[in-house]
């Protein structure tokens, strides 16, 4: 399908013949049904119902964004977003099974069983309507409910590859911004001046990283320079919104690539400053290898169709800060478990200023950290009680991750692996070992560096 699309685009666009931020001609590039290969069989039944009903009611109706992009790339689309010239109120009147959501972007959500189809009205740039409709502060868009035409809508979207439209009226693909050409080149490019667009919404820099990681595309050179220059603007984004974006970055199946690109463009430190600090002061490739293994495990679980608890990821991101903080407190005379608890509290309070992980996750992360010390007690009734703890599996997996990454807990991890699968008789033998054997068991740690690393602020 894509090879045929390449030939079609080549006929209509002369590569390099236009400016990066201007359309190839006064008219959109329209790829007819017989030249692009997109099939309605790849579109969900719910999305088709929405498109057809809007069209039959006399409105324009297009599939837009990632669904169109992914189908052109030969991938299975996961999201089907619809855009139309019908206002949100008109959409709601047409669909009984719809609700209107959002203040900054007014949208209609139409539910069919478990599937929700998102419908947005064509929007224009904030300065294309009345002054009161588009609200900005210091170059950042606060509200954006200025309605416009299909062309207006295309030019206000973020990346060219996300500004492609599938027209249900004649089954053509419509391209105003050169997105087809960029898909062919494997290039991610912001629509318009990237310096202006990233200032409008700094989160677009994180979206650039996410799409580049997901699609395997390279980021356009002008966009790269803008990201390096404006990364500090993420400090102006609410920490709760950055939590949502962080989940998309790390729980989309491309966590390793996202991490690598975030660090490459110096954005990671704006999200997770404590983790970035300790990554700069590696000891025998730790904590880098620990964090990468955690991200690899996250990707593997998602690829296998398993769930991932954000609390585990949060615990991995801050583990080095917690471990180092606990070591300092122990040197001052504090016992191990209270030291971990205090270091965990401090790490969380600092982190949520940047990325506000909800309390329900930070509480679970604290339990995972604290249980690393509880797991070190392998005699008496404690192991039997721990194995029934709701956070035991996550804590055990965390212990295995530490062992795999070089911490001196391999013997302890092996003990728990055997204990989990052991019979009741074998468990009784394992938990009645002598005190001298218990004393020899390591509780973690690695060889200290000659000079301690500076402490993160």
Show the tokens assigned to 153: 């809508």
Q: What confidence score (pLDDT) does residue 10 get?
A: 45
Burial of residue 107 (number of CB atoms within 10 Å: 0-12, 13-18, 19+): middle
Q: What confidence score (pLDDT) does residue 287 get?
A: 80
| Domain residue ranges of the chain, discontinuous segments joined by + | 2-185, 272-457
Task: Single out the residue of 150, 227, 140 nearest to residue 188, CA to CA.
Answer: 227
Q: Cα–chain-centroid distance for residue 275?
A: 17
* Terminal C-alpha separation, the chain: 53
Report the b/e string of 375-384 with b at 16+ CB within 10 A. bbebeeeebe
**DSSP states along 344-367:** HHHHHHHHTTTS---HHHHHHHHH
List the beta strands (DSSP E) in 65-112. Answer: 81-84, 98-101, 107-112
Euclidean distance between CA atoms 58 and 84, whole angstroms: 11
Active site residue: 70, 144, 153, 158, which one? 158
Helical (H) or strand (E) element with 116 = strand 115-121
Q: Cα–chain-centroid distance for residue 96?
A: 32
The superfamily in CATH containing domain 2-185 is Beta Polymerase, domain 2 (3.30.460.10)
Q: Cα–chain-centroid distance for residue 218?
A: 18
Architecture of domain 272-457: Orthogonal Bundle (1.10)
Active site residue: 70, 81, 144, 299, which one? 81
| Three-class HEC string of 289-325 | HHHHHHHHHHHHHHHCCCCCCHHHHHHHHHHHHHHHH
> pLDDT of the chain along its 457 residues, tens only?
555 555 544 444 333 333 444 444 545 999 998 888 788 989 999 999 999 999 999 999 999 999 999 999 999 888 899 999 999 999 999 999 999 998 777 899 999 999 999 999 999 875 533 333 444 455 444 445 688 999 999 999 999 999 999 999 999 999 999 999 999 999 999 999 999 999 999 999 999 999 999 999 999 999 999 999 999 999 999 999 999 999 999 999 999 999 999 999 999 999 999 999 998 876 656 688 999 999 999 999 999 999 999 999 999 999 999 999 999 999 999 999 999 999 999 999 999 999 999 999 999 999 999 999 999 999 889 999 999 999 999 999 999 999 999 899 999 999 999 999 999 999 999 998 634 454 444 455 554 444 444 444 3
79 is catalytic: yes
Show the tokens assigned to 401: 């991750």
81 is catalytic: yes
Q: What confidence score (pLDDT) does residue 35 get?
A: 85
Q: What confidence score (pLDDT) does residue 141 get?
A: 44
138 is catalytic: no
């Amino acid at each position: 399908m894509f090879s045929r699309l390449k030939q079609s685009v080549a006929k209509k666009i002369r590569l390099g013949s236009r400016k990066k931020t201007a359309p190839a001609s006064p008219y959109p590039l329209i790829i007819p049904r017989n030249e692009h290969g997109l099939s309605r069989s790849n579109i969900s039944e719910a999305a088709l119902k929405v498109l057809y009903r809007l069209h039959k009611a006399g409105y324009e109706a297009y599939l837009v964004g990632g669904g169109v992009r992914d189908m052109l790339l030969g991938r299975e689309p996961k999201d089907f977003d619809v855009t139309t010239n019908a206002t949100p109120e008109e959409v709601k009147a047409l669909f009984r099974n719809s609700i209107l959501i959002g203040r900054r972007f007014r949208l209609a959500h139409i539910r069919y069983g478990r599937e929700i189809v998102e419908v947005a009205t064509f929007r224009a740039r904030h300065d294309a309507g009345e002054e009161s409709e588009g609200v900005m502060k210091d170059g950042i868009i606060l509200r954006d409910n200025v309605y416009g035409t299909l062309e207006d809508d295309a030019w206000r979207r973020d990346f060219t590859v996300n500004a492609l439209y599938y027209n249900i009226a004649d089954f053509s693909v419509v391209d105003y911004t050169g997105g087809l050409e960029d898909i062919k080149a494997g290039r991610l490019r912001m629509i318009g001046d990237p310096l202006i667009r990233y200032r409008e919404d700094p989160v677009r820099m994180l979206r650039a990283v996410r799409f580049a990681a997901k699609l395997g595309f390279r980021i356009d050179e002008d966009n790269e320079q803008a990201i390096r220059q404006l990364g500090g603007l993420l400090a102006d984004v609410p920490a709760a919104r950055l939590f949502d974006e962080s989940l998309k970055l790390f729980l989309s199946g491309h966590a390793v690539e996202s991490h690598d690109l975030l660090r490459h463009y110096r954005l990671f430190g704006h999200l997770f400053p404590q983790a970035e600090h300790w990554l700069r002061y590696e000891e025998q490739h730790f904590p880098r290898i620990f964090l990468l293994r955690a991200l690899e495990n996250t990707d593997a679980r998602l690829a296998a169709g398993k769930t991932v608890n954000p609390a585990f990821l949060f615990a991995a991101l801050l583990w080095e800060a917690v471990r180092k903080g606990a070591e300092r407190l122990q040197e001052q005379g504090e016992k191990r478990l209270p030291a971990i608890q205090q270091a965990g509290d401090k790490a969380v309070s600092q982190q949520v200023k940047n990325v506000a992980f909800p309390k329900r996750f930070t509480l679970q992360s604290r339990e995972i950290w604290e249980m690393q010390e509880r797991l070190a007690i392998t005699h008496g009734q404690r192991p039997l009680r721990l194995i029934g703890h709701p956070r035991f599996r996550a804590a055990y997996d965390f212990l295995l991750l530490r062992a795999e990454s070089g911490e001196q807990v391999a013997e302890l991890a092996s003990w728990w692996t055997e204990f989990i699968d052991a019979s009741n008789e074998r468990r009784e033998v394992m938990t009645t070992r002598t005190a001298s054997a218990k004393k020899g068991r390591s509780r973690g740690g690695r060889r200290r560096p000659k000079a301690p690393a500076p402490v993160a602020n």
